[in-house]
Amino acid sequence: MALVDTKIITSAFIIILMIVIVSPGLVRPAIAAPVWTVDLDAHNTSATDVLVQQSYRPNSTFSVGAIVNASAINPISNIAGWQFGINYNSTLVVPQADPDPLSSYPDGSGSMITLGAQGTFGTYNWANAVAGGQAFSQFHIPPGGGTIFVFFAFFPPVTPVTLRAKTLLGSVTFELLNKTITPQAFTVSDVLFGDPNAQPIPGVIAGNNVTETILNDPPHARFTLTHISGYSFTTDGIASSDSDGTIADPGGYYWDWGDGTQNLTASSLILVHDYKVTCNPACPNGATLPGVFMVTLRVVDDKGATGSARDGQGGAIVNAQPSHRIQSILVDNPPGGTIAYAQTGPTPNANVDFTSNPTDPDGTVASTIWNFGDGSPRISGNTTAISHTYATVGNYIVTLTLTDNLGAAANVTQTAQVLAPRPPSVIVTAPTTGNAGTSISITVNASSPNPWSSVTTLKIEWGDGKIDTVTGASGTPSHSYSQAGTYTVTVTATDNSGNTTMKQSTIIVSPAPGLSTSLLLALVAIPIVAIAAFAIILLQRRKRGATPVKPNNP
């Protein structure tokens, strides 16, 4: 049935027809004989079914028809349009048709309203008139449900219709919401027939009502969606149930991913769907990535009860029907990034500087929220660099929540270690021995473990009263001891926060090197030997009577 926007229709007759929709209970003209009734049919089976059934016990979707009892003896003439309303219990049923195999969209819903399509003498094919563009039909459900209005009207210029036989105006299809053992009344109301002059045709009134006893609780669809990675998701419908029957598994589960693709023969077990595969370069239904998709599941029980999850164009149907379920998912690569930090001073009350590099592979990062892990208020905005003061030493889990331009969010974490001041570390390399009067060198290397400080001075106490100072964290100072002995060298490293560390080394200093004893004896012995030799020679000459020889004066 074609549905036409009533805003583009200016026919005065159409306005008259819709008065009842706007104002039910309209006072009609006095009824003049003859009288025709519009009766309900509890189980309307086709567009030509005019057999009135007073009650029905549906286990699945059913249709209620509206039939006018015209006859050859009592015809209704000059018909340019009509209207009727059906009142129902909105906690038990909802106007909606099951999926139609002929729908242009796979597993799409059939028409909720079926217009009569009789071709026998004295009847009229309303559906054919709409299909041929001669007329239009529309329905209206007020907020809260409980009543549905159906109306039909010819486009001007109007060629009026005469009915000379029982004629089906149309039927409304209802899906099950709950079951009850109490027969439920479906009543007809707001019946109105109009002529080409936009005047009500007198004598057409609401007729017999019907009852429906719903003994089958429809199946209840339930499923979960889980993001795997990227554009891939899994779905699981194992939680679907039927309180008084069964759901075939596989065979009773009909999935639609919202991108124009379906799994219509799948089971309730986990299915995997990758939108990047089905939507490359675009989705079958024209959607693009990243984006929001409506995933639907409908289930069918062993008695055939079900509910359409999609309309004829593939749009998700939103109502309270339990046999189908809708979930909206954001198919989007979430943002990511890293956090770096540096402590700029000793605790307590030291600033810790945080920086981040948020990224989004298929969009932009729209907002950030910093949680510093110490119970302090969170800081929101779009900040990539921020400072925070911690009151005490400890390890804190810092969380940065990133949200992109489509609403996808992700957390980036980093453990910030807030340190107490620690003294410098010092390494002294020194000889263990040396000689007096000789220069002795030591090597000193110091550093600060605190990220906010550095070593500024080195003080060297040589142990003999001499003190040297080196600027910086390293050096190779030297010293000469005047006396032999054992000396303790003390090195003190100081950082710019005043923290100090002392290291000591021991150096044994020997006397300054001189002549050895053997060499001294040798030097003394040489002249003694020479003198002794000369004396011996002189003595021998005297004994011989020789004239003594006078030695040369030196």
Residue identified by tokens 């907002």 is: 367
Q: Which residues fall within 8 angstroms of residue 546, CB to CB, at 6 or more apart?
A: none
User: Which residues are paired to 416 by β-bridges?
Assistant: 396
Q: Which residues fall within 8 angstroms of residue 117, CB to CB, at 6 or more apart?
A: 47, 48, 125, 126, 127, 128
Residue 119 parent element (H or E):
none
Residue 295 parent element (H or E):
strand 291-299
| Phi and psi, residue 202, nearest 5° | -70, 155
Per DSSP bridges, beta strands 443-447 and 425-429 are antiparallel
Cβ atoms within 10 Å, residue 512: 13
pLDDT at 520: 44
Q: Cis peptide before 95, with omega less than 30 degrees from 0?
A: no
Farthest-apart Cα atoms in the chain, separation = 204
Nearest partner of 123 among 76, 179, 163, 173, judged by Cα? 163
pLDDT at 283: 94
Global pTM value? 0.69
Residue identified by tokens 């002929």 is: 102
pLDDT at 536: 67
**What's the chain's length in residues?**
554
Q: pLDDT for 216-236, tens place per residue?
A: 999 999 999 999 988 999 999
Distance of alpha carbon 344 from alpha carbon 350, whole angstroms: 7
User: pLDDT under 70 in the chain at which residues?
Assistant: 1-34, 514-554
Distance of alpha carbon 290 from alpha carbon 288, whole angstroms: 6
CA 86 to mean position of chain CA atoms: 44
Residue 277 parent element (H or E):
helix 275-278
Distance of alpha carbon 193 from alpha carbon 135, whole angstroms: 15
Per DSSP bridges, beta strands 147-154 and 224-229 are unpaired
SS (H, E, C) 308-329: CCECCCCCECCCCCCCEEEEEE
Q: Which residue type sits at 158?
A: V
Burial 170-193 (b: 16+ CB within 10 A, else e): bbbbbbbbebeeeeeebebbbbbb
Q: Which two tokens stand for residue 522?
A: 């040798």
